[in-house]
């Protein structure tokens, strides 16, 4: 059967009284799935309705061979057999199967109309790009100098840019380390503007404002180095602390420590200590006792040591301390660290500097200016001066001043909720196809993609799905958050492509609920030059890997990872500022960033489409909206996806979809996910948690963006499908209280809603009971909202990380 032929199992005789006849005749249809669906509708209109087997209700209108070829006629029979055998059905569970009450809806039907004009890129069958032979001469080595990708001219001054020495960086040792170790010779615009002002010995506090990846870190770091090295009394790490750097995330703090102590290491005269928690406080104390010139940390941990560790006082004194940096300052505000910061300022002033901290310059640093642009005021930087490389005549801090790299290629794909997961697979897959020829001088292909999600549970779920969808292929699990998937698996179609057979995918997950040591190892592995996994360690073969990291916004700020090819915003950002930082992980000025940088944002049809206009305000080039169909076609057209059934008796395992059209492949892929979730209890739990947490997180979109992102606009049942779940949302949202103590109290009337706190100490179980009662009286959708709101109270800080 040809690709676009479809066997349809509908009685066309017009004589049947049973709707879909059990003696259905078979007709053959041509065309794409839309045409096929239209034809089905027309044919169905001609048939009398039935209560017995309502194909629409059972989700049987899907245009795919796997589910529907010859199926309708067998549904009744199958159900009967199942009942008789009393065995669970490992595959299809349909409405009416009372035991499960699950629902298999089709991926391509009942989807909301997309209003935005989308570009459907033509996909040429049988002559697809992925099918092209990758000839040696076709390979495109990444020649940084030649195509000037990393030069990022927008970041340098048009005129002859001054050298670092002209900016006040006089220490030969430092300039040499910059040239030799970091391969940096010419300062960027923000460095030219910022370094002289920071070094100058006046009291002005400073806001360094410049786009992501423009070199802000060295703008404040080099003056700190220079000040340390100018001190003729410098006795190494025990000579006193010159700079304190506060960061919102542990990852960013660890990265800064690595720059100072490893990448730009100029010996014992400049040494940093990092305090980020996640390890024993005792070992941090031990390191502090050795002395430090620069102290880096997250607010909570810094404050903790300031209050309790004696050796800190020994090294932080007004005689040496000159700079207090708040990197990603607006994020520090957003995360509610104001109180900690105020306490830190106070301890520094009163306890470390004897009541006078006038010699300490406060520096705020970010690519965005905070929600209301009043960041400086907010943290008492009353007398600050803004230094910006974004616009020459800029004085006010406003979001409009925040810029995105001109080299970034941003697009958008508007996807109905049911098709989100498959389209994500499609985008990842197509990134491999598009960049598979970009080899480095040693023949390696290392692509890196970051997929941003709204919450930890959703990160876990997507990591589990993509790393676990291997059928009978082996997953090489190095750590619990790293998994490699190789050729021949069902994870992504490109793994079955002959031209990409040497490719493998390494999946990572990163979020704040992981143990710190795992977070550090994962990031280190993802960022290392040859993320070597498993068997490849010993072989001399060139690496062909696509490293895909599923992460929360914990990875959106400040991280300078090498060679990020693609950023995917699978869940929309919580604020427009988050978008700027997420996409800022690519298209950076960096010796290791050898790609222009691409970003794709996923939006749902409907109100979310309006968000495009907001995004377009930030991007110089209009964002192109891609059609999800072309994404799916490109990914799923050329390689048949095999079913992963476990039903060996029925000999279904391993069989390909009967029709190898792209939509059949998409459906088979999705059914594989659904089956896997049905089979594995832990995966089901992960999917359920992922879905519920995603909804909760969605409710936290800020008020000014609620007109685009309001949970009321979402078809929750359809969204459920993108988590591979067949349950209805209400089943997932409300499970009732199974706590025995509460049930007993309920039974014997020991608990009532009006018991005061004095008479009856409310414990968490009693709160559960109150909640249950409240929920019972609500409509299903309101239940979901209420649950989200309740969880929000406790878990608000969890959502973003
Ligand atoms: N003058 C320079 N010439 C070439 N590369 C540079 C220069 N200055 C910094 N870089 C490199 O550019 C990359 C990005 O710099 P950096 O991390 O400081 O950006 P940023 O502005 O702080 O970004 P973000 O806002 O995302 O934190 C780093 O890899 C850094 O080594």
Over the stretch 553-573, which tens digit does the pLDDT of each residue have?
999 998 999 889 999 999 999
pLDDT at 449: 96
- Nearest protein CA to atom 15 of ligand 1, as residue: 215
Arithmetic mean of pLDDT, 76-91: 40
Name the residue at shortest CA distance from atom 3 of ligand 1: 184
Give the distance (Å) from ligand 1 centre to CA of residue 420: 34
Contacts of 341 (CB under 8 A, 6+ apart): 246, 299, 326, 332, 379
Task: Classify residue 219: in a domain, yes or no.
Answer: yes
Shared domain for 585 and 637, answered yes or no, is yes
Q: Are 473 and 502 in the same domain?
A: yes
Contact 638, 131 (CB under 8 A): yes
Ligand 1 center to residue 202 CA distance, Å?
26
Give residue 62's pLDDT band: very low, low, confident or very high (50, 70, 90). Answer: very low
Query: How far is the centre of ligand 1, averaged over its atoms, from the C-alpha of 507 (Å)?
Result: 26
Residues 325 and 381 placed together within one structural domain of the fold = yes
Share of the chain above pLDDT 90, in %: 31
Residue 467 has pLDDT above 50, yes or no: yes
Domain membership flag for residue 46: no
**Structurally, how many domains does the chain consist of?**
2
Question: If pLDDT is split at 50, 70 and 90, which confidence band does 552 have?
Answer: very high
- Ligand 1, atom 1: closest residue by C-alpha: 187
Burial of 129 (0-12, 13-18, 19+ CB in 10 A): middle
Q: Are residues 383 and 417 in the same domain?
A: no
Q: Are residues 366 and 455 both part of a single domain?
A: no
Q: Which residues contact 151 (CB under 8 A, 6 or more apart)?
A: none
Asked if pLDDT for residue 341 goes beyond 70, the answer is yes
Among left, alpha and beta (phi > 0; psi -120 to 50; other), residue 742 is alpha
In a 10 Å sphere around its CB, with 0-12 CB exposed, 13-18 middle and 19+ buried, how is residue 28 labelled? exposed
CA-nearest residue, atom 30 of ligand 1 = 590
For ligand 1, atom 22, the nearest C-alpha belongs to: 216
Q: How confident is the model at residue 666 (pLDDT cuts 50, 70, 90)?
A: very high
pLDDT at 262: 92
pLDDT value of position 213: 87
And the tokens for 620? 């110089």
Lowest-confidence pick of 50-54, 79-83, 459-463, 526-530: 50-54
Helix then strand then coil, in percent of the chain rounded to 5, is 40, 10, 45
Dist. CA 135 → ligand 1 center (Å): 35
Q: What is the CATH number of the domain that holds 205?
A: 3.40.50.300
Listed residues 373, 402, 431: the one ending a domain: 402
Give pLDDT, residue 499: 82
Helix (H) or strand (E) holding 798: helix 780-800
Whether residue 524 sits in one domain with residue 467: yes
Q: Report the alpha-carbon distance of residue 565 to residue 446 in Å, rounded.
A: 9
**pLDDT, greater one: 90 or 292:** 292
322 in a structural domain: yes
The pLDDT value recorded for residue 398 is 47
Q: Number of C-alpha atoms within 13 angstroms, CB side, residue 258?
A: 14
Residue to probe by mutation, ligand 1, list 209, 560, 597, most atoms within 8 Å of CB = 560
Q: What distance in Å separates the CA atoms of residue 551 and residue 450, rounded to the nearest whole number? A: 7
212 alpha carbon – ligand 1 mean position (Å): 8
* Of 211-225, 337-351, 534-548, 658-672, the least confident: 534-548
473 in the same domain as 398 = no
Residue 336 lies in a domain: yes
Lowest-pLDDT choice from 122-136, 392-406, 552-566:
122-136
Best residue for ligand 1 mutational test, from 145, 156, 217 (most atoms within 8 Å of Cβ): 217
Asked whether the predicted pLDDT for residue 151 surpasses 80, the reply is: no
Q: Which pLDDT value is given to residue 480?
A: 80
Average pLDDT over residues 543-554: 92
Helix (H, G, I), strand (E, B) or coil at 180: helix
Lowest mean pLDDT among 419-423, 451-455, 517-521, 586-590: 586-590
In this structure, are 567 and 616 located in the same domain?
A: yes
Could you tell me if 381 and 418 lie in one domain? no
88 or 611: which leads in pLDDT: 611
Mean pLDDT score of the chain: 74
Nearest alpha carbon, ligand 1 atom 4: 184
Which DSSP symbol is given to 130? G
- Residue 417: predicted pLDDT: 95
Q: Ligand 1 mean position to 659 CA, how many Å?
A: 50
Q: How confident is the model at residue 40 (pLDDT cuts 50, 70, 90)?
A: low
Q: Which residue CA neighbors atom 31 of ligand 1 most closely?
A: 590
- Of 556-560, 639-643, 681-685, give the lowest mean pLDDT range: 639-643
How much distance in Å is there from the Cα of 470 to the middle of ligand 1?
38
ipTM for this prediction:
0.99
761 domain residue, yes or no: no
Measured in Å, residue 614 CA sits from the centre of ligand 1 at 27
Q: Which residues contact 665 (CB under 8 A, 6 or more apart)?
A: 493, 636, 637, 639, 640, 641, 657
The alpha carbon of 377 and the centre of ligand 1 are apart by a number of angstroms equal to 27
259-282 residue pLDDT tens: 999 999 988 889 999 999 777 888
What pLDDT was estimated at residue 654?
Answer: 52
- In this predicted structure, the answer to whether residue 734 has a pLDDT above a threshold of 70 is no
pLDDT for 145 beyond 70:
no
pLDDT surpasses 90 at 344: yes
Pocket of ligand 1 (CB under 6 A): 182, 184, 186-188, 191, 210, 212-218, 367, 558, 560, 584, 588-590
- Centroid of ligand 1 to alpha carbon of 588 (angstroms): 7
Do 556 and 629 reside in the same domain of the chain?
Answer: yes
Instruction: Show the domain range for 560.
Output: 409-531+542-643+661-674
Give the residue, by CA position, lying nearest to ligand 1 atom 20: 213
Decide: 40 and 8 in contact? Cβ < 8 Å. Answer: yes
In a domain, 555, yes or no: yes
Q: Whose CA is closest to atom 5 on ligand 1?
A: 590
Q: Can you tell me the mean pLDDT for 297-325?
A: 90
Specify whether 396 is located in the same domain as 416. Answer: no
Domain boundary among 402, 423, 452: 402
How far apart are the CA of 273 and the centre of ligand 1, in A? 21
Which ligand 1 atom minimizes the distance to the CA of 593? 29
What pLDDT score was predicted for residue 762? Answer: 32
User: Residue 377 pLDDT > 60, yes or no?
Assistant: no
**Reduced to 3 states, what is the DSSP secondary structure of residue 711?**
helix
Average pLDDT over residues 707-729: 88
Residue of the CA atom closest to atom 27 of ligand 1: 558
Residue 137 has a pLDDT of 46
Distance between CA atoms of 658 and 125, rounded to whole angstroms?
18
Q: Which atom belonging to ligand 1 lies closest to the Cα atom of 327?
A: 27
- Report the C-alpha gap between 445 and 203 in whole angstroms: 49
**241: in domain:** yes
Classify residue 699: in a domain, yes or no.
no
List the single range of 31-40, 488-497, 574-583 with lowest mean pLDDT: 31-40
Residue with the larger pLDDT of the pair 642 and 767: 642
Q: Are strands 323-327 and 504-510 parallel, antiparallel or unpaired?
A: unpaired
Residues 252, 186 share a domain: yes
Give residue 104's pLDDT. Answer: 61
Of 348, 380, 402, the one marking the end of a domain is 402
10 Å CB burial of residue 394 (0-12, 13-18, 19+) is middle
Give the span between the Cα atoms of 773 and 734, in whole angstroms.
12
Phi, psi of 297 (to 5 degrees): -175, 170
267 Cα: distance to centroid of ligand 1 (angstroms) = 22
If one residue of 198, 207, 215 were mutated to test the ligand 1 pocket, choosing by the most ligand atoms within 8 A of its CB, it would be 215
- pLDDT for position 472: 40
């Amino acid at each position: 059967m040809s690709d676009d032929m479809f066997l349809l199992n509908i009685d066309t005789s017009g004589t049947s009284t049973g709707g879909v006849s059990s003696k259905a005749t078979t007709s053959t249809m041509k065309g794409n799935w839309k045409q096929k669906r239209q034809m089905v509708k027309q044919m169905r209109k001609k048939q009398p309705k039935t209560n017995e087997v309502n194909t629409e209700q059972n989700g049987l209108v899907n245009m795919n061979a796997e589910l529907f070829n010859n199926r309708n006629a067998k549904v009744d029979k199958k159900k009967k057999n199942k009942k008789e055998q009393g065995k669970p059905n490992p595959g299809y569970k349909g409405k009416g199967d009372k035991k499960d009450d699950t629902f298999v809806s089709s991926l391509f039907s009942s989807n909301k109309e997309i209003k935005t004009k989308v570009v459907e890129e033509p996909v040429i069958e049988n002559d697809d790009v992925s099918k092209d032979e990758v000839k040696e001469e076709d390979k495109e080595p990444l020649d940084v100098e030649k195509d000037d990708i990393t030069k990022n001219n927008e970041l340098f001054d048009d005129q002859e840019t001054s050298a670092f020495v002209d900016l006040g960086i006089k220490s030969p040792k430092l300039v040499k380390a910059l040239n030799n170790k970091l391969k940096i010779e010419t300062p960027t615009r923000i460095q030219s503007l910022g370094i002289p002002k920071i070094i100058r010995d006046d009291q002005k506090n400073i806001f360094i404002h410049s786009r992501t990846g423009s070199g802000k870190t060295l703008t404040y770091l080099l003056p700190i180095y220079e000040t340390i090295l100018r001190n003729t009394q410098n006795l190494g790490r025990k000579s006193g602390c010159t700079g304190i750097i506060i960061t919102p995330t542990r990852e960013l703090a660890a990265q800064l420590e690595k720059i100072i102590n490893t990448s730009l290491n100029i010996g014992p005269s400049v040494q940093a200590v990092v305090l980020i928690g996640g390890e024993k406080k005792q070992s941090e104390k031990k390191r502090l006792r050795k002395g430090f010139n620069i102290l880096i940390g997250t607010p909570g941990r810094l404050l903790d040591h300031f209050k309790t560790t004696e050796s800190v006082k020994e090294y932080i004194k007004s005689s040496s301390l000159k700079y207090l940096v708040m990197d990603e300052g607006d994020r520090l505000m957003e995360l509610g660290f104001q109180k900690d910061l105020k306490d830190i300022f106070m301890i520094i002033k009163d306890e470390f500097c004897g009541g006078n901290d006038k010699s300490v310059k406060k520096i705020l640093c970010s690519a965005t200016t905070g929600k209301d642009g009043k960041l400086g005021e907010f943290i008492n930087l009353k007398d600050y001066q803004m230094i910006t490389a974004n616009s020459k005549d800029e004085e006010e801090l406003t979001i409009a001043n925040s810029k995105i790299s001109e080299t970034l290629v941003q697009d958008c794909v508007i996807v109905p909720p049911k098709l989100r997961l498959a389209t994500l697979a499609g985008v990842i897959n197509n990134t491999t196809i598009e960049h598979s020829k970009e080899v480095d001088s040693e023949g390696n292909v290392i692509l890196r993609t970051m997929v941003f999600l709204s919450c930890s549970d959703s990160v876990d779920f997507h990591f589990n799905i993509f790393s676990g969808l291997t059928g009978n292929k082996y997953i090489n699990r190095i750590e619990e958050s790293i998994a490699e998937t190789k050729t021949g698996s069902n994870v992504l179609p490109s793994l079955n492509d002959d031209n990409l057979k040497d490719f493998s995918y390494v999946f990572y997950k990163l979020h704040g609920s992981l143990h710190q040591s795992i977070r550090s190892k994962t990031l280190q592995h993802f960022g290392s030059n040859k993320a070597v996994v498993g068997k490849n360690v010993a072989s001399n073969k060139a690496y062909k890997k696509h490293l895909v990291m599923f992460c929360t916004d914990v990875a959106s700020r400040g991280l300078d990872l090498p060679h990020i090819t693609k950023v995917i915003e699978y869940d929309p950002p919580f604020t427009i500022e988050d978008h700027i930082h997420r996409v800022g992980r690519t298209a950076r000025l960096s010796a290791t960033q050898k790609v222009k940088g691409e970003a794709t944002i996923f939006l749902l049809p409907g109100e979310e489409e309006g968000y495009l206009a907001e995004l377009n305000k930030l991007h110089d080039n209009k964002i192109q909206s891609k059609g999800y169909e072309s994404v799916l076609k490109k990914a799923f057209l050329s390689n048949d996806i095999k079913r992963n059934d476990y039903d060996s008796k029925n000999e279904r395992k391993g069989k390909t979809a009967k029709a190898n059209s792209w939509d059949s492949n998409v459906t088979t892929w999705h059914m594989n996910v659904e089956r896997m979730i049905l089979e594995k209890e832990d995966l089901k739990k992960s999917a359920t948690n992922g879905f519920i947490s995603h909804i909760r997180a969605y409710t936290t979109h800020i008020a000014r963006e609620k007109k685009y992102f309001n949970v009321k606009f979402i078809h929750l049942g359809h969204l459920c499908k993108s988590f591979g779940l067949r349950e209805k949302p209400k089943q997932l949202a409300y499970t009732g209280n199974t706590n025995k103590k509460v049930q007993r109290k309920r039974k014997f009337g020991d608990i009532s809603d009006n018991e005061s706190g004095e008479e009856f100490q409310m414990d968490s179980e009693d709160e559960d009971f109150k909640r249950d009662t409240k929920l019972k009286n609500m409509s299903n959708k309101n239940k979901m909202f209420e649950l989200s709101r309740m969880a929000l109270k406790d878990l608000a800080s969890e959502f973003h990380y």
